[in-house]
Structure 1
Amino acid sequence: MHEYTTKTAESVWNNCLKFIQDNIQEQAFKTWFLPIKAIELTDNALYIQVPSKFFYEWLEEHYVSILKVALTKALGAEAKLLYKIRMENTTGNKQPYTEQLPSANRSPVKTQELDIPIQNKDPELKNPFVIPGIRNVKIESQLNSNYSFDNFLEGDSNRLARSAGLAVANKPGGTSFNPLLIFGGVGLGKTHLAHAIGVEIKELHPEKTILYISAEVFTQQYVDSVRKKTRHDFIYFYQLIDVLIVDDIQFLSGKSGTQDVFFHIFNYLHQNGKQVILTSDKAPVDMQDIEQRLLSRFKWGLSAEIQHPDFDTRVKIVKSILFRDGVEMPEEIIEYVAKNVKSNVRELEGAIISLIAQSSFNKREVTLDLAKHVVEKFVKNVKREISIDYIQKVVSDYFQMDIETLCSKTRKRHIVQARQLAMFFAKKYTKSSLASIGSQIGDRDHATVLHACKTIDNLLETDKQFKKYYEDINKKFSL
């Protein structure tokens, strides 16, 4: 007994840590052992504090043997290890989960004592925090391996985003692109690129823990964790991730509780050199109902826009689809399809597949006439995705001017108002950023577009004739 009285809980645990560190991988040691606090030594029982029940169960399932050896070396064959699990303060504390011990001026930490001698665990033990699609304790990435950099074709419209994605994949958490926010309209390849980055990291850095998740599923998980009172497990789980990819981050708009918990998770990951990758249908400056403190963090790294593909890129995409499907098609037909389906990559692929299907089902050769028939019908059916080019055409036709005049630098009042209307409708009917709208309509900046939208709002309230112009044009977009 005298031997034990000279020891402290901390000194015994430090001896255990030295042995454990020599026998497991460095990353595992940092993740699973450094957060543990030794808090009490009674006879041959060592009490340690762990962050959560999930943490305790992971230790008992994966490291029970090494813990037993380490503690036996430090305290003898009769040694016992007891856990105190820090429970989250449920009286409104929204701070991120920590392993901090109580001090004299803090209320005591709620603990749960588990008087369990070191023993082999039930092999059926599962992670109590279950993510849909992730059945076991092992964290699956949820990545789609069909999305890769090889089949994400580079063009002027996506070069910055693709290059930044490659840089992040080569050195996750080690570039200034953290977070990397990829934004742009529907069907332009944001999700594809996000998966491609994750797939590449998995290939180059197999030791990294990667998770792809949609903001919608993340929100549902958080709501469930609040309902089940497992919020601390939820937070700790996400602190384990090395590369977190969240798709459609704009879904957090208006959800203050989810934004709050994501803010704390983001801070922890960023401060610990972990990589965060986000996608959104709009730039941070255009996001509504997202807290300013979160938006400011989105701007810490790089916001890279994927724009509508230009003609050359669309040609490359069509050829890539045809090559993938083993189909040959004359160059003039490829160029015709690429020229007339401009809205996004998804619809371009849909048009090509429709053309191949028409040719196959009707046993007709793919001719230019067939292409015109299919594209005309296809474009009409997908008019719901209104492009900035289409908006400029409708507005310029209504005011009987060409698009060059609409986009010109002239300050003539009727032309300026037509141009402002085009910007207003582009903001209303597309998901393009203000900067993207400005660059496509007269090479203006986002401040000009913002001013145009405010001007149109004022004119609609004060000018009846102008309001009629607006209503006439607006009807054309709902046909």
Structure 2
Amino acid sequence: MDSEKLNDRWSAVKAQILGYPDVNAAEISAFFSRLEPQAMSDSFLMLTAGNEFIKTWVEDHYLASIQRALFDMTGTPFAVAIAVDPTQEQRQTAQAGAATAAPSPAAAAPVMAQAAGAAVPLAAPATPATPVTAGAGGGLNPVSAVAAGAEPCQVVEVAAPSTVAPVAAPQPFSGAPATPPSPASVAPAGAIETSEASRAAASPAAGSPMDPAAEQPASTLTFSNFVIGESNQMAYSMANEVAGNPGRPIFNPLFIYGKSGLGKTHLMLAIKNYIDKTQPHLRTVYADSADFVSKYMEASVAHDREKASFKNFKHYYEEADVLLIDDIQYLQNKKQCLDMVFQLFNSLTAQGKQVVLSADRAPKNIDVDDRYSSRFSSGGIVEVRPPDIETKLAIVKRFAEECSRNEGFSQCAIPDDIQMYIAENSSSNIRELLSAVTNVLYRMVFSGQSDMTIEGARVLLENHFSGGMSRNLSAEDIQREVENFFKVSHADLLSAKRSRSIAYPRQIAIYLCRQLLDVPYEDIGRKFNRDHSTAIYAVGAIEEKLKKERDVQEEVETLQKILSEL
């Protein structure tokens, strides 16, 4: 099978999977783009991934879906093997026109089957139903796709999967991961930021000896338990690239920005955890800006008593191979600390060491000297946007399942309509969403309300949400607050005027009616002297602006907060 035909077959498999219910399209886009088909026969498919994380994640979450798609398309059970090709990321980078980078230390080194001391390239199983298992002495047995009738697109030396189990007829798809993550390791995106960051940032006191092995405790926030959606897919992909290939000029520094509670700290600690696990020879240091300022002040005060204190403080960060500084906007108006960060930044990046920064706003909007913001913008910049309803619902489901496992609440499952209610009414801050899930679960358990209704959930959470539906809210309330906020008259809001100063507030008001009131488009249109198609257009226009324009996000969230307090 030639390369073009093989890629076409793989594209068809991906399209088939996207048609299944409960499949996260953003996850498919983020992970399957990092897989390459290598060989395919009538009952066997060989794929390669650029690093061990991508391989393991796809095996855990989508191997069953790939097998199901192949069965649905061909009527034949397939064995699917995924192996690691360390050169794959380099080829993709070269094809994208990026600078050539060294092979990722994070990717597993090619594992060669040994035959009389010679390395044997990996291909596919001699018989698709035959497992590929570890050979005697822990070595991996060579396997040949050619013998099975598969036609490899190219021969690559890759790490063999430890096991490719024989495949029986595919089972009904449940949407659940093939292998659930361990309870101790799962925390949805954005679930914990400041508190987790504070613990992870714990470091030796200024001036004290610093033991790298005991510098910072591990965090449970990893790539595998980050919930991917359209709003954070790009940030996730760039963070994963940095974790696998730290120091590449194109992403050095990496600057991640977005409002509080959207998962920035989760991504930063996921980078640290991944590098700590896969490249332990690299020293990673995570610092929350507030903690950095505190340590800087301690070192400055101690300098009069202990001359080495300030030197030790600086040395701690200078010796990092990967430095992650969270909430950099906190350094506004703190010139000495900012100068210190800038010195560290320049020193580390000049040596090809990785720097990752985060803030609640873009570099250009941080109140610092232009020379700082321009340098912070010199690498990759990516925004974590507020999650859409689908992403919030996925986070609700993930967190509810994890709480049930960890706390022994398996007998309590939050009904689907309550999960959707939480997703629709929570603000963009994920902590608020997770708190609502916790409240509902504990009420169900400790009050014996295992069959809680949607009305019971509304009563329980009536004062919980900062940006959700208000029980007594009306279209007139929304119109009034929008008019006050944008300084337009009621007559103009309902008029036929189409200037931006009138049309934009009108679209915002229609959007908020659709989000906060349980009424159809026809009713909303009548409230604004318009038909339902105009209301649909207005909602769509604001949804598009929310994806791209931070000012619109802030205006909508401010109005939601105002309306929630009525």
**What range is the shorter-chain TM-score in?**
0.5 to 0.7
Question: Matches of 2:245 and 2:283 in 1, distance apart?
Answer: 14
SS in 2 for 1:376: coil
Structure 2 residue aligned with 1:270:
349
Task: State whether structure 2 residue 329 is matched by structure 1 residue 329.
Answer: no
1:298-343 deviation per Cα after TM superposition (whole angstroms, max 9, x unaligned): 1011121111110111111011011102242222222222112133
One-letter code aligned to 1:360: V
Task: State whether structure 2 residue 387 is matched by structure 1 residue 309.
Answer: yes
Question: Matches of 2:464 and 2:265 in 1, distance apart?
Answer: 24
Q: Check conservation: 2:480, 2:490, Cα contact below 8 A.
A: no
Q: CA deviation at 1:131?
A: 3.3
Structure 2 residue aligned with 1:249:
328
Question: Matches of 1:301 and 1:409 in 2, distance apart?
Answer: 44
Question: 1:418 and 1:335, CA in 2 relative to 1: closer, same or farther beyond 3 A?
Answer: closer
SS in 2 for 1:176: helix
SS in 2 for 1:378: coil
Q: Check conservation: 1:139, 1:209, Cα contact below 8 A.
A: no
Q: Check conservation: 1:243, 1:276, Cα contact below 8 A.
A: yes
Q: Check conservation: 2:466, 2:560, Cα contact below 8 A.
A: no
CA-atom RMSD in angstroms: 4.0
Question: Matches of 1:285 and 1:322 in 2, distance apart?
Answer: 38
- For structure 1, list consecutive stretches of 5 or more residues without a partner in the other structure: 1-128, 384-390, 423-437, 454-471
Task: State whether structure 2 residue 263 is matched by structure 1 residue 189.
Answer: yes
Question: Matches of 2:425 and 2:550 in 1, distance apart?
Answer: 31
Structure 1 residue aligned with 2:426:
341
Question: Matches of 2:483 and 2:386 in 1, distance apart?
Answer: 23
One-letter code aligned to 1:297: R
Of residues 269, 272, 275 in structure 2, which corresponds to 1:201? 275
One-letter code aligned to 1:333: I
Question: 1:264 and 1:204, CA in 2 relative to 1: closer, same or farther beyond 3 A?
Answer: same
Structure 2 residue aligned with 1:378:
464
Q: Check conservation: 1:143, 1:211, Cα contact below 8 A.
A: no
Q: Check conservation: 1:247, 1:279, Cα contact below 8 A.
A: yes
Q: Check conservation: 2:508, 2:542, Cα contact below 8 A.
A: no
Q: CA deviation at 1:293?
A: 1.4
Question: Matches of 1:246 and 1:145 in 2, distance apart?
Answer: 16
Aligned residues: 306
Q: Check conservation: 1:152, 1:192, Cα contact below 8 A.
A: yes
Question: Matches of 2:466 and 2:508 in 1, distance apart?
Answer: 26
Q: Which moved more, 1:184-193 or 1:129-138?
A: 129-138
Question: Matches of 2:329 and 2:507 in 1, distance apart?
Answer: 28
Structure 1 residue aligned with 2:528:
none
One-letter code aligned to 2:383: E
Q: CA deviation at 1:135?
A: 6.3
1:140-180 deviation per Cα after TM superposition (whole angstroms, max 9, x unaligned): 45254211111110001111111011101101112511111
Q: Check conservation: 1:141, 1:212, Cα contact below 8 A.
A: no
- For structure 2, list consecutive stretches of 5 or more residues without a partner in the other structure: 1-202, 304-308, 405-411, 470-476, 511-540
* Superposed counterparts of 1:53-452, under 5 Å: 130-131=204-205, 136-138=210-212, 140-174=214-248, 176-229=250-303, 230-288=309-367, 290-326=368-404, 327-364=412-449, 365-379=451-465, 395-396=481-482, 410-411=498-499, 413-415=501-503, 442=545
Q: Check conservation: 1:169, 1:198, Cα contact below 8 A.
A: yes
Taking structure 2 as the reference length, the TM-score comes to 0.48
State which structure, 1 or 2, has the greater radius of gyration over its C-alpha atoms. Answer: 1
Q: Check conservation: 1:405, 1:415, Cα contact below 8 A.
A: no
Q: CA deviation at 1:413?
A: 4.5
Question: Matches of 2:542 and 2:207 in 1, distance apart?
Answer: 42
SS in 1 for 2:295: helix
Q: CA deviation at 1:133?
A: 12
Name the % identity: 29
Taking structure 1 as the reference length, the TM-score comes to 0.56
